[in-house]
Amino acid sequence: MSMNINISQQFGLKKVDSTNVVKRISLFNTSTSFSYNFLSDAQKFSDINSSLNANPSSWLSVSVSLTHTLYSNGSTQPNGLFLRSANMNSSVRWKFNIPFASANSSDTSENEVRDCSINISHYLSKNIESGPITHWIKYDIKTFITPNWRIDYNYYYDVENSKKISDEFHLWRDLHCWEILFIWVPSGVRAGYYFKINVKEIPEIKIEKTSGNVRWR
């Protein structure tokens, strides 16, 4: 028989504007959980897992998680609060539009607008007991160069070992009822390329070719 305990909290602000309208601003959420085993002869308390999640703006998110134990050096009874592992994950996102002049009109109000984005993700993890550190950063860029041509690029870097893990280019072309996708991985275990042309409404109708270990879902 065991008992599970979970404590969650939300932190925020209330802001009153000039028209007396109350606006709620969320700052961050926290959560702590653990369990207690009544039938265990030793170490009745489980690890204590804590997390903090913050989205202070639409373009930034941060999360932190910690794992603690109440036991050390093989102790069977609680003798302190000891950190076992820590993780931090953050991401920054920018979204923007690129207007392109319409090929069928000189009126700027009829510009064709395409959505583009830049994402930067960061991850850091440390296991206190065994020692290894996982630390990486990843970039994702998606942008149109014409209304029908889009280029995607992502770069994955191992900060802890100071080396590139992977990077790849995606080139996409709209052909009205058809579409073309070309992926190129310059180096690494997946080095190679993938090419596909398919019907938009029926993706199963396609022609594709690949080289190396490049695959597409």
Tokens of 169: 């280019």
Which pLDDT score, from 0 to 100, does residue 104 have? 63
From 61, 96, 111, give the residue that closes a domain: 61
Question: Residue 55 domain-assigned?
Answer: yes
Q: Is residue 203 part of a domain?
A: yes
Q: What is the pLDDT of residue 58?
A: 84
| Domain extent for 24 | 1-61
> Rounded to two decimals, what is the model's pTM?
0.77
Confidence at residue 129, expressed as pLDDT on a 0 to 100 scale: 78
**Among 168, 181, 180, CA closest to 213:** 168
pLDDT over 90 percentage in the chain: 71
Look at residues 38, 61, 84 and tell me which one is the last residue of a structural domain.
Answer: 61
Q: In this predicted model, what pLDDT tens digit does every residue of 107-150 receive, in sequence order? A: 656 788 999 999 999 999 998 877 789 999 999 999 999 999 99
What is the pLDDT, as a whole number, of residue 117? 95
**Res 106: pLDDT:** 59
Helix, strand, or coil (residue 123): strand
**125 part of a folded domain:** no
| pLDDT for the residue numbered 69 | 94
Residue 137 lies in a domain: no
Q: Is residue 155 part of a domain?
A: no
Cα torsion 22, 23, 28, 30 to 10°: value is 40
Give tens-digit pLDDT for 173-211: 999 899 999 999 998 888 999 999 999 999 999 999 999
Q: How many structural domains does the chain have?
A: 2
In a domain, 8, yes or no: yes
12 lies in some domain: yes
Residues contacting 172, CB < 8 A, separation 6+: 149, 150, 151, 152, 179, 180, 181, 182
pLDDT at residue 25 in the model: 82
Contact (CB, 8 A) for 24 and 12 = yes
**pLDDT of 103 higher than 80:** no
* Residue after which a domain boundary falls, among 10, 38, 61: 61
Cα–Cα distance between 6 and 8 in angstroms, integer?
7
Question: Is 139 domain-assigned?
Answer: no
So what's the pLDDT on residue 164?
A: 92
